[in-house]
Structures are given as structure tokens and as C-alpha cells.
């Protein structure tokens, strides 16, 4: 693997470059995310990861607007991802239009199907509709393949430059690729040393799909910061565990989107380092001895092989 830096980019199958380190925005409160986005762009980030369901695209857009106004970046300098929510699988253009309006943009660089789980917009909760028995109101008469075909059409509108998926296992990718014409540009999945998902990485590499790692620190509370194997690599390079976890992804060819609303952490997370083969092997071996842990496991009723947590 060649050496990596904050400005490393990877090429998508559209030929566009995706910056390897981006800012995550999930659970970034409306009062804090405008400043987080602005600060990230000011210190060098060129990639922001958003989603309709995060409910904060308007404030993300305000951060972008401030950076544009101050001449910190131009629209074409940055890479914006947002995501189709589950209750909009039959209406992706409507959902993208709403995201664009909130973000204050004419297009996004990448539009992802957030989960391959269509849900009915039944009115009792527009984001997480439930049936009377409390289970998710899944739209079982619609498939992710049908959704993807609508996303393919969105490419023609110019409102997104590329389309991709998120939370896709190899099984879902195989099913999708056997029935569609556009290969996803990216697959955004949970990834860290407790969940390396090497099978998905290998499959995506073979198909030219860039992988993006979400929750690289283990999400809220950063549980991976306590991992001894991460500490060893951090001590060797005299960096923080966070730097190791974020660098780990880029060094294995994976885009990474750590979330923070704290200016000092936003800066720290952007400064990645090159790791050697010994480091990568040590980090890859952690899940073999400690086992696999998945932190993001919503109960959507789809069998991804993770426990139902509801």
C-alpha cells in the first residue's frame, strides 16, 4: 500500500475521486453541526457524509454556505454524500430533492441507498413506521432491486453524480449485481477492528466498488479506544488510538468518515498516518482473538445475520 495522507483520494467507478477522510454527521445536533462542517472544511476536509434521516441537512447546508461565502471552498472542491431513507424507496427523486433543498445544493456527489430495507410511509412515524404489534412496517411488496433501478434513472437528472449502497452484505451485493446495469460506486458499511468485514471488502474490490467505513471508532463512546491491540499500534507511532483507527481504514484502501462536533477532535481525526504491514496484520488479527462486535444493528426485519435488538 502506498503511503497515505489527509488528502488521499480513491477513484470511483465513475472516474470521480472520493476524498479518503470525510466528516460524519449522524447524531450531530442542529446547534452544533453547522460549526462542525464549517470547521472541518476550514482545516482541510473535502468530504461530508450526510443523510436525510439524520434530520440535520439544513444545518449542514448552513455550514457549507458559510464556507462558500468565505471562499474557503468552492462547490466543485468538495464531495457530498447523502442517503435515501427507507420510507422513500418508491420515491427516490422526491427524497433527493428534499435533501438538496435542505443542503442548499444543486447536486450531490454520491447518493446512497441507506439500507436495502423498504418501509411503508404509514403516517404513524414518517422515519421509523411501526405496525400495531410494534414491529417495523416493512414494504414487503417492493425490493431493493426495484429501488436501485429508480436510482439508476436519477443519474440522468444530474442531481447526483454517482449512486451507491450502504449496509450491503455480499449476499445483497450478489443479488443486486445479477439484476442491474449500473454497478454501485460505493458501499458504506460499519467497519473497525472488531468488524473488519474482509469478505465484503474483497468482493467490492473485485467489482470495483469503493468501500466506506462508518463508525470507525465504534460509534458513540468510542469503545475501540479501549482495545489493547489498537493501543499497541498507537504507542509504536506515538499517536492516539483514534488516529490508528481512522488511518487503518485508509491504509487498507477504505474511505473513512469519523464523526465529531468537537473542533479539536475534527482536526485530530483528519491527520492520518501511514501504517506498515505489521500494523495492519496486528489490527486485522484483533477480531480473530476478541471476536466480532457490531455496534449499529437496527431491527429492520431483514436477515443480515445480526441479532434483533428491539
Residues annotated as catalytic are 54
Q: What is the H or E stretch that residue 23 is in? A: strand 23-24
CB 161 within 8 A of CB 16: yes
Among positions 133-162, residues that touch ligand NDP (CB under 6 A) are: none
Of the residues 61, 193, 216, 229, which one makes contact with ligand NDP according to CB under 6 A: 216
Least separation, in Å, of the C-beta of 288 and ligand NDP? 21
The span of 64-72, 91-99, 179-187, 263-271 binding ligand NDP (CB under 6 A) equals: 263-271
The span of 59-67, 168-176, 256-264, 279-287 binding ligand NDP (CB under 6 A) equals: 256-264
Does the footprint of ligand NDP cover residue 260 (CB under 6 A)? yes
Pairwise CA distance, residues 71 & 77, whole Å: 11
Pairwise CA distance, residues 269 & 274, whole Å: 14
C-alpha cell at 32: 452544533
Give 269-286 as a DSSP string: HH------HHHHHHHHHH
Least separation, in Å, of the C-beta of 132 and ligand NDP? 27
* Residues contacting 120, CB < 8 A, separation 6+: 87, 129, 137, 138, 139
Least separation, in Å, of the C-beta of 74 and ligand NDP? 23
Q: How many CB atoms lie within 10 A of CB 126?
A: 13
Among positions 83-142, residues that touch ligand NDP (CB under 6 A) are: 114
Does the footprint of ligand NDP cover residue 40 (CB under 6 A)? no
C-alpha cell at 294: 457490531
Does the footprint of ligand NDP cover residue 219 (CB under 6 A)? yes
The annotated binding site is made up of 114
* Contacts to ligand NDP by CB under 6 A: 24-27, 49, 114, 166-167, 188, 214-220, 222, 242, 257-262, 265, 268-269, 296
Amino acid at each position: 500500500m502506498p503511503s497515505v495522507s489527509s488528502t488521499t483520494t480513491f477513484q470511483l467507478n465513475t472516474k470521480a475521486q472520493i476524498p479518503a477522510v470525510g466528516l460524519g454527521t449522524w447524531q450531530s445536533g442542529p446547534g452544533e453541526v453547522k460549526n462542525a462542517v464549517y470547521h472541518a472544511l476550514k482545516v482541510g476536509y473535502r468530504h461530508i457524509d450526510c443523510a436525510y434521516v439524520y434530520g440535520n441537512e439544513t444545518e449542514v447546508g448552513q455550514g457549507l454556505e458559510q464556507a462558500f461565502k468565505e471562499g474557503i471552498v468552492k462547490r466543485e472542491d468538495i464531495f457530498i454524500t447523502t442517503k435515501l431513507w427507507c420510507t422513500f424507496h418508491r420515491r427516490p427523486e422526491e427524497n433527493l430533492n428534499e435533501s438538496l433543498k435542505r443542503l442548499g445544493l444543486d447536486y450531490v456527489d454520491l447518493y446512497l441507498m441507506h439500507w436495502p430495507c423498504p418501509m411503508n410511509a404509514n403516517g404513524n412515524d414518517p422515519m421509523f413506521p411501526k405496525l400495531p404489534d410494534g414491529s417495523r412496517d416493512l414494504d414487503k411488496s417492493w425490493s431493493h432491486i426495484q429501488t436501485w433501478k429508480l436510482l439508476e434513472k436519477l443519474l440522468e437528472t444530474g442531481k447526483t453524480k454517482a449512486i451507491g449502497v450502504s449496509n450491503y452484505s455480499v449476499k445483497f451485493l450478489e443479488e443486486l449485481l445479477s439484476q442491474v446495469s449500473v454497478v454501485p460506486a460505493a458501499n458504506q458499511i460499519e467497519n473497525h477492528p472488531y468488524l473488519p468485514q474482509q469478505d465484503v471488502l474483497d468482493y467490492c474490490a473485485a467489482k470495483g466498488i469503493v468501500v466506506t467505513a462508518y463508525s470507525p471508532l465504534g460509534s458513540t463512546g468510542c469503545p475501540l479506544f479501549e482495545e489493547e491491540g489498537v493501543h499497541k499500534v498507537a504507542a509504536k507511532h506515538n499517536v492516539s488510538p483514534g488516529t490508528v483507527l481512522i488511518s487503518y481504514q485508509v491504509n487498507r484502501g477504505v474511505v473513512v468518515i469519523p464523526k465529531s462536533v468537537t473542533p479539536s477532535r475534527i482536526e485530530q481525526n483528519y491527520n492520518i498516518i501511514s501504517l506498515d504491514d505489521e500494523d495492519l496484520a496486528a489490527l486485522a488479527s484483533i477480531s480473530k482473538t476478541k471476536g466480532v462486535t457490531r455496534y449499529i444493528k437496527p431491527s429492520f426485519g431483514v436477515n443480515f445475520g445480526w441479532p434483533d435488538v428491539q
